[in-house]
Copies of this chain bind each other. A is one copy, B any other.
Amino acid sequence: MQRMSQLFTKTRREAPADESSRNAQLLIQAGFIHKEMAGVYSYLPLGLRVINTIKRIVSAEMEALGSQELIMSTIQNKDIWEKTNRWSDEAVDVWFKSQLKNGNEIGFGWSHEEPITDMIKGHIASYADLPRYVHQFQNKLRNEVRAKSGIMRCREFIMKDMYSYSLTEEQHIAFYAKATDAYMNVFRNVGLGDRTFVTSASGGLFTEKFSHEFQTVCEAGEDVIYVHKDGTHALNGEIFTDETLQKMNAERSDFEQKKAAEVGNIFTFGTKKCEELGLYFTDAEGNKNMPFLGSYGIGITRLMGVIAEVFSDDKGLVWPASVAPYDVHGIVLDGKEREAEGIVQALEQKGMNVMYDDRADRTAGEKFADADLIGIPWRIVVSKRTMEKGMVEVKNRQRSAIEYVSEAGIVEKLKTV
């Protein structure tokens, strides 16, 4: 249980003047994040809880894919990136760089294909060592020119990146398909399934061969996609051409243009990067060969931003139950602390996580406004009136209806969707 009297963060009535994005405005107002500078945010206790919950959802899918977790360094070795011609600012325009005391240049990790491929050289020797899948939750640093979408595009952000080293292109393609399904599971599990589409992409910094994006329909998104009227698939701007439509036997009018945010992407690197970095294995016939590399990213903090954009209303945030910082927001009024504590403790014992507004110096109106702003799925109120009825007031953040439920019936009620 988190007592609001002890929670150090405070809500704000007014949106911060220096934020134009809705996600940052709401998350700052509700005390989830703190802005350090444009594109750089810290995550306060409520925000960190959401991040950790999203990480757990992603971890479960990574584990099911057989991927092993590690954590690479932020400080990057110039030599490794020079081998793949991605050190220079001309090749990669988002590097932050600095120097050691001896004058040697270092970079700060904006991506990790190179160091992971270099590291894994010490652990892959023969075909028996493949395939291998590894992933991390990494704090990426990118020197972005533009940073005005709150936590949806940052100079510092958390990304889950996974890398697959396959024996053959066939093996890669099969894993790539499994990874695509795993990613869709993630987006479904955080509540964005019905508005997230896998779209084909081509071109761009990473791509040698095929790649896909996961695009979530969202007004604040920086991308444009074309969603088929039947809602089953979408095309991104690059491939929404007459040629593609002809191949699909479809018409422009079958699709609707929507703004979208890229919440994930998957890339096929092929064997080139392994060759550049010297990652080889000996195949069954004793020949030297390169693994087939794939890379798979989900922007964890961006995903949180998109969820905040999509699930919010004029009163505040409306977290899906699966990623909410707490399950229940308990409010005590009229000095009914003893009764409220008992109910809250009982909920905690039944495995529910409760934010408990025990603040004595706030009015009912202030407490209700904070509950709406913070956006925990269920609100329960224990007051003189509810106790007279022998009941607890229960309200879902997504609905306006208020219900009175007996103490014994609360858990059952909170399990309904």
Which residues does A use to contact B, with CB under 8 Å? Answer: 6-10, 12, 31, 34, 36-37, 40-45, 47-48, 51, 66, 68-77, 96-98, 100-101, 106, 108, 115, 119-120, 122-125, 128-129, 132, 134, 139, 141, 143-145, 155-156, 361
Contacts and interface: CB of A to CB of B under 8 A. Distances in A.
15 contacts: A8-B129, A10-B123, A10-B129, A34-B119, A36-B75, A36-B115, A40-B75, A42-B119, A43-B71, A44-B70, A48-B70, A98-B98, A100-B155, A101-B143, A139-B139
Contacts of A144: 101
A355 B129 CA distance: 18
Contacts of A7: 68
A123 B43 contact: no
Contact of A41 (B6, B73, B97, B361): B73
B68 A8 contact: yes
Which of A36, A43, A108: most chain B Cβ within 10 A? A36
Given A115-B36, A132-B8, A48 B69 contact: yes
A141 B100 CA distance: 11
Nearest to A101: B145
Given A7-B68, A36-B73, A128-B361, 19 more contacts: A6-B66, A9-B123, A34-B119, A34-B122, A36-B72, A36-B115, A37-B106, A40-B73, A40-B77, A42-B71, A42-B72, A44-B119, A45-B70, A74-B139, A74-B156, A96-B106, A98-B108, A100-B143, A100-B155
A128 B139 CA distance: 35
A314 B342 CA distance: 57
Contacts of A47: 70
A15 to B, nearest CB: 14
A101 to B, nearest CB: 5
A129 B96 CA distance: 38
B8 A134 contact: yes
A31 B74 contact: no
Given A48-B70, A66-B6, A70-B44, A75 B119 contact: no
A12 B125 CA distance: 13
A76 B120 CA distance: 32
A96 to B, nearest CB: 4
A100 to B, nearest CB: 7
Contacts of A71: 42-43, 48, 51
A95 to B, nearest CB: 9
A82 to B, nearest CB: 14
A152 B143 CA distance: 30
Contacts of A37: 75, 77, 106
A141 B45 contact: no
A42 B108 contact: no
B141 A75 contact: yes
Contacts of A119: 34, 36, 42, 44
Contact of A75 (B51, B68, B156): B156
